[in-house]
Amino acid sequence: MAGELILNREHYTRVLGEVVPSARRFLWIATADLKDLHVAGAGGRFVPFVGVLAELVAAGVEVRLIHAKEPGPRFRADFDRHPELVAGEGFERILCPRMHMKVIIADGRIAYLGSANLTGAGIGSKAEHRRNFEAGWLTDEPGRVAELMEFFDAFYLGDHCVKCGRRDVCPDPIV
């Protein structure tokens, strides 16, 4: 693959349908907006994406999620139904009001970088004429994936917190 342009619905089919479920060791996700996103589940029924994350955590995949604002009540209700996410050691969620990147990295072997938020209209299963216009890049080129992981990890570890300048609006500074 090396690099592949991902447009519109391909975000759902390629990234959520192939990359996310392929994670075996870790899955890192960064998004600005986080909503009650649903994906196709068993028997053709749509299920909350947080359920997919919970299944991955239950299978031993470590999941990091960084997002910019608190999600709405429907997302929180779905989230609270999964003890592996609420109190499990394999799931970590960080709120950073300055987070605007949209990144998904699976096992350090494949990465998505693009415009789509973790919402139904962005990366989710919305109908063709109801979704956002999105563009992104999917790569398995080791050097590029490593660079993106280093950039992501700096946020996760709080390297930017000390000099952020927005601590007054940050609900939970990492450092």
Round the average pLDDT of the chain to a whole number and report it. 91
User: Which SS3 state, helix, strand or coil, does residue 52 take?
Assistant: helix
Q: Is the pTM of this model over 0.75?
A: yes
User: Which SS3 state, helix, strand or coil, does residue 38 take?
Assistant: strand
**Polymer length in residues for the chain:** 175
Q: For the domain bounded by 3-151, which CATH number is listed? A: 3.30.870.10
Residue 19 has pLDDT above 90, yes or no: yes
pLDDT tens track for 92-137 = 999 888 889 999 999 999 999 999 999 988 998 877 788 899 999 9
Instruction: Note the pLDDT of residue 24.
Output: 98
* CA distance linking residue 160 with residue 163, whole number of Å: 6
For the chain, the structural domain boundaries read 3-151
Mean pLDDT over 63-86 rounds to: 92
What band does 1 get if pLDDT is binned at 50, 70 and 90? confident
DSSP letter string over 88-155?
A: -TTEEEEE-TT---EEEEETTTEEEEES--BSTTTTS---TTTSPP-EEEEE--HHHHHHHHHHHHHH
